[in-house]
Structure 1
Amino acid sequence: MKRLAVSLTLFLVLSLGVGLLVSGSEVLDWGIAGGLFAIAVLGECFRFWIRRTRSKKRDSSSV
């Protein structure tokens, strides 16, 4: 759980930074920052799903 929080915090800061750099004269480009953060959240959810399915396969094998 700690890794998830650190990872999402890092991606939040990075996406806000990119939103500021791309915005130009505006304060922040929320579309780009939000889109990048959404991609990061989807990636973390995918990583969690992959880890869960692999552990289920490991548990289900009978010897």
Structure 2
Amino acid sequence: MRIALTLLFFGVLSLFVGALVSGEDYFDWGVAGGLFALAVAGEGVRFWLKRSRAKKRQSSGI
């Protein structure tokens, strides 16, 4: 649930920044998509680190 809310927040934020950067001509999908890709990558790294730390704690107790 937390990851969905985080990605929703960063999705809206990236769309807002894409609209601000584009001006009046066109919507800058490159900027918006790049920012959202960074958010997804960051959440993926956070999830991976959390999972690897949990495995490390579990294996050290045995």
Pick the TM interval, shorter chain.
over 0.9
2:26 aligned with 1:27: yes
CA deviations on 1:13-56 (whole Å, 9 max, x unpaired) are: 00000000000122310000000000000000000000000000
> Could you state the TM-score of these two structures normalised by the residue count of structure 2?
0.94
Unaligned runs of 5+ in 2: none
- Aligned-residue CA RMSD in angstroms? 1.0
Question: Counterpart in 1 of 2:41?
Answer: 42
3-state DSSP of counterpart to 2:61: coil
The DSSP-based 3-state class of the residue aligned with 2:55 is helix
Question: What's the TM-score, normalizing by structure 1?
Answer: 0.93
> What 5-or-longer segments of structure 1 have no aligned partner?
none
Identity of aligned residues (%): 60
Aligned to 1:13: 12
Deviates most, 7-16 or 22-31 = 22-31
